Amino acid sequence: MTAKPVTFVLNTHWHFDHTGGNESFGKSGSIIVAHDNVRRRMDSEQLIEFLGMKTKPSPKAALPVITFSADTTFHLNGEEIHAYHAPRAHTDGDSVVLFRGSNVVHMGDIYFNGMYPFIDTSSGGTVDGVIAAADRVLAIADDRTKIIPGHGPLSNKAELKAYRDMLESVSGRIRQLIKDGRKLEEIVEAKPTADFDEKWGKGFIPPAKFAEMLTRNLLRGGK
Ligand SMILES: [Zn+2]
């Protein structure tokens, strides 16, 4: 939001809709920063299984040039901006970004506000990691904190709490159905999201798809 050149670009994760501007930024001299796994995935061919989407390795100019494993801090505009890795959440390379002076948090695609989220199992994401990442933000947020989701409108602590509680309820139900020996199709048919669909089911991922996605996630990567 400036006419000045962009000095730093921080990718919250590797997905194309969050890194698609990298090549232009990289060529115009921006320094691209991200978690180690963002560069690793962008540097090789990827398959997002749930979407059946293959992506080719990114051109060199698009790759992050500074990567970190746990966290990093920017000291810019008189503010501390802390980016830290949220393990195995939406993917295996998510960062949460805290703008400490402004009381703003950017959660990338760990947070889809007002709709069922996509959790990319084939990129190392887990529903438990998403819940854990939400809990870490909830622990430091106050009622004035602005929380920026990867998709959906600007948000706040109360809405983030409702999101993590929805994820805990639905994943808990599916976990129980798996324990009871139900098959994938039976779990989807049981409509484990039913009472949440009115509020969360009208977005990118419809209810049945979300139940399928979470079941596959819990069977594969999640605990
Ligand atoms: Zn994403």
Quickly state the pLDDT bin for 199 (edges 50, 70, 90): very high
What pLDDT is recorded for position 117? 98
Give the integer Cα–Cα distance in Å for 134 and 21: 27
pLDDT digits (tens, 9 = 90+) for 54-63: 999 999 999 9
pLDDT digits (tens, 9 = 90+) for 65-88: 999 999 999 999 899 999 999 999
Four-way CATH pick for 8-220: 1.20.58.220, 3.50.50.60, 2.60.40.3500, 3.60.15.10: 3.60.15.10
Rounded mean pLDDT, 79-106: 98
pLDDT over threshold 60, residue 222: no
CA 90 – ligand 1 centroid, Å: 7
CA 181 – ligand 1 centroid, Å: 31
CA 12 – ligand 1 centroid, Å: 9
What pLDDT is recorded for position 220? 86
The rounded mean pLDDT for the chain is: 96
CA 201 – ligand 1 centroid, Å: 18
Domain boundaries defined on the chain: 8-220
All residues at 6 or more sequence positions from 133 whose CB lies less than 8 Å from its CB, including other chains: 86, 89, 94, 96, 107, 110
